[in-house]
Amino acid sequence: AQSVTQLGSHVSVSEGALVLLRCNYSSSVPPYLFWYVQYPNQGLQLLLKYTSAATLVKGINGFEAEFKKSETSFHLTKPSAHMSDAAEYFCAVSSSNAGKSTFGDGTTLTVKP
């Protein structure tokens, strides 16, 4: 069984500030972990993924995430927020032997000018 908890359904930051979106997972087997971004009325776009290689994963648009097995976490960060980062972000977990992904409920990121 696998599950994802995203802490904070809404996060608001000022433009230029650090972005930190939290994700904790549960998985009975070594997980694959993903962060997706979704803009209004659109599908999901992959930001980055962890598949048991380097624990610090760099993605698109300046985002990165660190896999911490001891904390079962995969938090998403970006050093400096941009207005265009305002969107909904989803953390997801899957496993090497099960293709389906389990998603968190999402975090809406607001960026204030």
Partner 1 sequence: DTGVSQNPRHKITKRGQNVTFRCDPISEHNRLYWYRQTLGQGPEFLTYFQNEAQLEKSRLLSDRFSAERPKGSFSTLEIQRTEQGDSAMYLCASSFSLQETQYFGPGTRLLVL
Nearest alpha carbon to residue 22 among 37, 11, 38: 11
- Cβ atoms 56, 50 nearer than 8 A: no
Q: Which H or E run includes 67?
A: strand 64-68
Count of residues touching partner 1 (by CB under 8 A): 25
In whole angstroms, the minimum distance from the beta carbon of 61 to partner 1 comes to 16
Indicate whether 59 belongs to the interface with partner 1 (CB under 8 A): no
Show the binding pattern over residues 23-42: x = contacts partner 1 (CB under 8 A), - = does not: ---------x-x-x----xx
User: Using CB under 8 A as the criterion, which residues of the chain lie in contact with partner 1 when the complex forms?
Assistant: 4, 9, 32, 34, 36, 41-46, 49, 51, 90, 92, 96-97, 99-106
